[in-house]
Amino acid sequence: MKALDGVKILDMTHVQSGPTCTQLLAWFGADVIKVERPGVGDATRGQLRDIPDVDSLYFTMLNHNKRSVTLNTKDEKGKEIFTRFIKECDVMVENFAPGALGRMGFGWDKIQELNPRMIYASVKGFGPGPFADCKVYENVAQCAGGSASTTGNLDGTPMVTGAQIGDSGTGLHLALGIVTALFQRETSGKGQRVECAMQDSVLNLCRVKLRDQQRLQHGPLNEYSQFGEGISFGDATPRAGNDSGGGQPGRILKCRGWETDPDAYTYFITQAAVWKNICDVIGKPDWKENPDYAKPVNRLPKLNEIFGAIEDWTMTKTKFEVMDICNALNIPVGPILSMKEISEDESLRQTGTIVDVEHPERGNYLTVGNPIKLSDSPSDVLRSPLLGEHTDEILKDVLGMSDADIAEAKEMGAV
Ligand code: CAO
């Protein structure tokens, strides 16, 4: 048994944000029926291809454990079949440009009329307001959600981050909305509309930066490096380089080999509780009792000097030696791991966070498994479906269509 066994998801998602959401639901056991346009499919099947004519890694890594049915939802026969799917499924998920489902004739009113128990979940770039009709991709969301403005160096341009907080971040939020709505349906008996805007999800993940925006009204942000550097603050939360976003100052510091290895760095946090251990390990025992350094508040204006001294020490060690030495002393540090190092990490393979998957057309590839581990509902990662691989099977077992009905629908170009 899996947690979401028996839940049928009508998956109208494409690209990244929606597919991340439905992939999670599939890992938890839902039957995710991915509806794709005949002969075309999700655009990402063909994007960033590394092997000619084979589904891209972009697609395969976002669509595990799903079944694919082709269906032209703009065609009359296709609409009839789609209507039957709406009646049979528990949840519909989509992330088309605003209004696309309505243009097909399947707005929220229509869906409620067809199936009052259906949960209809959408990702859009923006919520209601001036930008509600805009198409949005990852980096637009990072920019509009406050992330880009607060990422990067103080003297540099706004910066997007490699973590897909706009797409995958919104997919995660939406998945939570869906299971919450399923839970409420247990008592209400009714479906509901679940909406997640990418701007809102990014902002939710940038919550601490809105915290700092308000703190600015009461004085400088003295844990930011620019405070110690004597650079005055403007009227908006500034970019803070690699400063820690929390109350314990931290920085990225060079480790042995940094001259040739772009990832020979560690993150080092000067947690107040272990300050004395830090002083000992970097060879500054006098800083333990010296009133200029002993208290966190006195250290804030001197972060450049302090991290300079720590870096003099980290540069004599590899990032893994820093990890071993500091963790034994309870000092929080973390190596900067490259994707190559992560892909070769045995412990991540053992927990199912990195998984090897066999695909009939591309062979073996690596993917990220379910990061959410349920003890009674473990996730097995199954390869993504080929375009329309399960069309006949789904039309038969979900809608009860006969072979003759299916043949007719195919002849009409509906599937
Ligand atoms: N049968 C027939 N038509 C289909 C179909 C099917 N099975 N599936 C999709 N279509 C149609 C849609 O109805 C739509 O047609 P209309 O424009 O005529 O109404 C069309 O295909 C394409 O939809 P789209 O406008 O969503 O696609 P796009 O490539 O132009 O835009 C994107 C992509 C991502 C910018 C846009 O979908 C969007 O803004 N989505 C919301 C925000 C979002 O999720 N962004 C994240 C993108 S990365 O995860």
Ligand 1 and 63: CB distance under 6 A: no
Written as one string, the DSSP assignment of 209-258 is HHHHHHHGGGS--TTSHHHHTTPPP-SSPPP-TT--SSSS-EEEEE-TTT
Q: Give the integer Cα–Cα distance in Å for 196 and 181.
A: 13
What atom in ligand 1 is closest to the CA of residue 134?
Answer: 39
Give the whole-angstrom CA distance, residue 251 versus residue 310: 10
Q: Which amino acid is at 326?
A: C
Please give the distance, rounded to the nearest whole angstrom, from the Cα atom of residue 15 to the centre of ligand 1: 9
Task: Locate the ligand 1 atom nearest the alpha carbon of residue 99 and give its number.
Answer: 19
All residues at 6 or more sequence positions from 323 whose CB lies less than 8 Å from its CB, including other chains: 266, 333, 334, 335
* Number of residues in the chain: 415
Atom nearest to 135 CA in ligand 1 = 39
Question: Side-chain half-sphere of 100: how many Cα atoms within 13 Å?
Answer: 15
Of 297, 151, 147, whose CA–CA distance to 222 is shortest? Answer: 297
To test ligand 1's pocket by mutation, which of 135, 200, 387 has the most ligand atoms within 8 angstroms of CB?
Answer: 135
Q: How far are the Cα atoms of 17, 127, 142, 232 from residue 169, in angstroms, in the given order?
A: 8, 16, 10, 33
10 Å CB burial of residue 93 (0-12, 13-18, 19+) is buried
Indicate whether residue 37 lines ligand 1 (CB < 6 A).
Answer: yes
Q: Report whether 293 contacts 302 (CB < 8 A).
A: yes
CATH number for region 8-205+346-411: 3.40.50.10540
Q: Any catalytic annotation for residue 212?
A: no
Distance 120 CA to ligand 1 centre (A): 16
Mutate to test the pocket of ligand 1, among 13, 74, 96 (most ligand atoms within 8 A of CB): 96
What distance in angstroms lies between residue 404's CA and the mean position of ligand 1's atoms? Answer: 31
Predicted confidence at residue 245, as pLDDT, reads 82
What is the Cα–Cα distance from 173 to 196, expressed in whole angstroms?
7
Interval between CA 108 and ligand 1 midpoint (Å) = 17
Phi, psi of 371 (to 5 degrees): -75, -10
pLDDT at 302: 94
CA distance 382 to 385: 9
> 97 CA distance to ligand 1 centroid (A)?
5
**What's the rounded Cα separation, in Å, for the pair 331 and 37?**
53
Q: Is 137 in the pocket of ligand 1 (CB under 6 A)?
A: yes
Pocket of ligand 1 contains residue 391 by CB under 6 Å: no
Give dist(CA 3, CA 373) in Å, integer.
Answer: 11
Spacing, Cα 26 to ligand 1 middle (Å):
22
In whole angstroms, what is the distance from residue 12 CA to residue 21 CA?
11
The pLDDT, as a whole number, for residue 246 is: 86
Asked if residue 414 has its Cβ within 6 Å of ligand 1, the reply is: no
Write the CA distances from 144 to 39, 97, 149, 160, 242, integer angstroms: 35, 17, 9, 11, 21
For residue 96 and ligand 1, the question of a CB distance below 6 A is answered with yes
Catalytic residue among 167, 200, 212, 243: 167
Query: Please, where in the chain does CATH 3.40.50.10540 lie?
Result: 8-205+346-411
| Contact 126 CB / ligand 1 (< 6 Å) | no
Distance, CA of 33 to CA of 12 (rounded, Å)? 8
Question: Was domain 242-331 assigned CATH 3.30.1540.10?
Answer: yes
DSSP-derived 3-state class of residue 195: strand
- The tens place of each residue's pLDDT in the chain, 415 residues long, gives 999 999 999 999 999 999 999 999 999 999 999 999 999 999 999 999 999 999 999 999 999 999 999 999 999 999 999 999 999 999 999 999 999 999 999 999 999 999 999 999 999 999 999 999 999 999 999 999 999 999 999 999 999 999 999 999 999 999 999 999 999 999 999 999 999 999 999 999 999 999 999 999 999 999 999 999 999 999 999 999 999 888 899 999 999 999 999 999 999 999 999 999 999 999 999 999 999 999 999 999 999 999 999 999 999 999 999 999 999 999 999 999 999 999 999 999 999 999 999 999 999 999 999 999 999 999 999 999 999 999 999 999 999 999 999 999 999 999 9
Q: Where in the chain is the domain with CATH 3.30.1540.10?
A: 242-331
Residue 411 buriedness (CB in 10 A; 0-12 / 13-18 / 19+): exposed
Q: Say yes or no: CB of residue 104 within 6 Å of ligand 1.
A: yes
Run of H or E including 193: strand 193-197
pLDDT at 300: 92
Whether 311 and 253 have beta carbons less than 8 Å apart is answered as yes
pLDDT of residue 336: 98
